[in-house]
A and B are shown apart, each in its own frame.
Chain A
Amino acid sequence: MMRCRPFRYHAPRTVAEAAKILRGEGPDAMVLAGGTDVIPNLKRKQFAPRTLVALRRIGELRTASDDGLTLGAATTLDAIARHAALPEAHRAARIAASKVATPQIRNRGTIGGNLCLDTRCTYYDQSAEWRQAIDFCKKAPGPHGTAIETPVEQGICWVAPGSPRCWAVSSTDAAPALIALGAEVTLVSADGERTIPLTDLYADDGMAFLTKKRDELLTAVRLPAAVEGWRSTYWKLRRRGAFDFPILGVGAALKLDAGGTVEAARVVLGAVASRPLPVDTSGLVGGPLSDEAIDAFAAKAAGPAKPLDNTDFTLHWRKRVVRAWVAGALRELRGDDSEEASLLSRSAARIPEPLSV
């Protein structure tokens, strides 16, 4: 049994109905898509919604547009990983979806749930008893983890005790890949609909990490139609080849002209901050993808990445590996590296394995 507080359960059949319920129920209502994040979190009492609004019966959230570029928010990750209609230029989306968790979880977990995934932290993703034993932290300050409604001043942060904010880590694999592809998302509430760039969905705060209002439903993800000259990839670093959340994700998309000059570039880092972190690519644009250009860009990209001591591996190593991983992803886009090859060369001592747990 889930030893959580009793909740009301709604399973509306349309987006409009769901939006109405979310408006009516107020801040204690929570959306349940595949449940692969919500259910473990409920069990750990990280939050205690009074109402769950399930999306499973809403057919319109599972459809894709005819051109294959608009995906309903309840599309499963497995469906995206196998989405043959997606242009090759958008392959980063398929790669990212295929690297989430396990086959079972990809069969159930949705793209909307992945984009709205709760931020993660070693001091937060623990049972209520564990958290109580060291005293609850800011993100879930009570026995029922009332993070949703609690003022930020309450509780301590175990990662950065002097800090006024929470540093829990954005751990979605899809977001860095989709932001690199230039995706937009549609949000619907009882007031109507708006479409924003996916990157604007996020804020760099472990608690208030989404800019959407609580009663807004994410209904669709839209990828750009202009793909001529673009290529993309997603590199994910984790301890095991399955199950594990990323400790680093690199989403990268480049537009190259016939002569190999970079016309446009988007690179986004995952799991190094409380939001997916877009990197300034102006240094890459206008030149060729030479080794020097890649190395200079990768060194700069690692600058803003600020891993803290709240996920797997040591933070110093995590910081250092950003440079190698960004360079590797760009070399793959140039056509001469792959994540597998890079992992092999890592064990050949280019980046020594950390000694940490």
Chain B
Amino acid sequence: MSGPVEIAFTVNGEAKTVRAVAMARLLDVLREDLGLTGTKEGCGEGECGACSVFVDGTLVNSCLIPALQAVGTSIETIEGLAKGDALHPVQEAFIAAGGAQCGICTPGMILAAVSYLRDGGDAKEASIREALAGNLCRCTGYMKIVESVARAAAAIAREERTS
């Protein structure tokens, strides 16, 4: 299989069809065919987490997934997280706590944090660190990232108590 293949899937809630070469990875299709450059390529080998996206609700490395295997799936990328102008609580917290510096790891970090919080994760430092263990950051030293996620966890818990 070397000619282009058709890939029909849902990306951030919208149905999309792209024609990609068979050896394309999900990461390539997102960035190059759909222009969703928020998803980053750090290593291309599963060693950094910068390419993290949700496939059918599960956090995975898009550099390790052949685009062919995205057919029929529902993908969520960093671009799909905000609701219009309203940022996700994790995005808000990264801004408030200074969780991003150069920004290369940030989309993957934020999605890993969202995955953790959707699973019911709390503000405990040790559990946050475990949840972010698949994402490398070369700038921040992690302290402010962990703090950002803890803030978001607290904000979400507050929101749940009041609603």
Contact = CB atoms under 8 A, between A and B. Distances in A.
Contacts of B66: 2, 9, 32, 35, 39, 52
Q: Interface on chain B toward A: helix, strand, loop, or mixed SS? A: mixed
18 contacts: A2-B23, A6-B2, A6-B23, A7-B22, A9-B66, A35-B69, A39-B66, A40-B64, A43-B44, A103-B112, A103-B130, A103-B134, A104-B49, A104-B59, A107-B59, A107-B60, A241-B133, A242-B133
A159 interface: no
B1 interface: yes
B136 to A, nearest CB: 8
Interface in B28-83: 28, 44-47, 49, 52, 58-61, 63-66, 68-69
Interface of B: 1-2, 21-25, 28, 44-47, 49, 52, 58-61, 63-66, 68-69, 112, 115, 130-131, 133-135
A56 interface: yes
A1 B52 contact: no
A14 interface: no
A241 B126 CA distance: 12
B134 A3 contact: no
A123 B59 CA distance: 31
Contacts of A130: none
A104 B60 contact: yes
Interface string A96-131: 000001111101100000000000000000000000
Nearest to B71: A11
B69 A54 contact: yes
B49 A1 contact: no
Contacts of B44: 43
B24 to A, nearest CB: 6
Given A6-B1, A9-B1, A35 B134 contact: no
Contacts of B130: 103
A155 B148 CA distance: 52
B127 to A, nearest CB: 12
B24 A1 contact: yes
B22 A108 contact: no
B134 A104 contact: yes
B1 A7 contact: yes
Interface string A237-271: 00001110000000000000000000000000000
B115 A9 contact: no
A201 interface: no
A74 to B, nearest CB: 13
A102 B1 contact: no
B46 A101 contact: yes
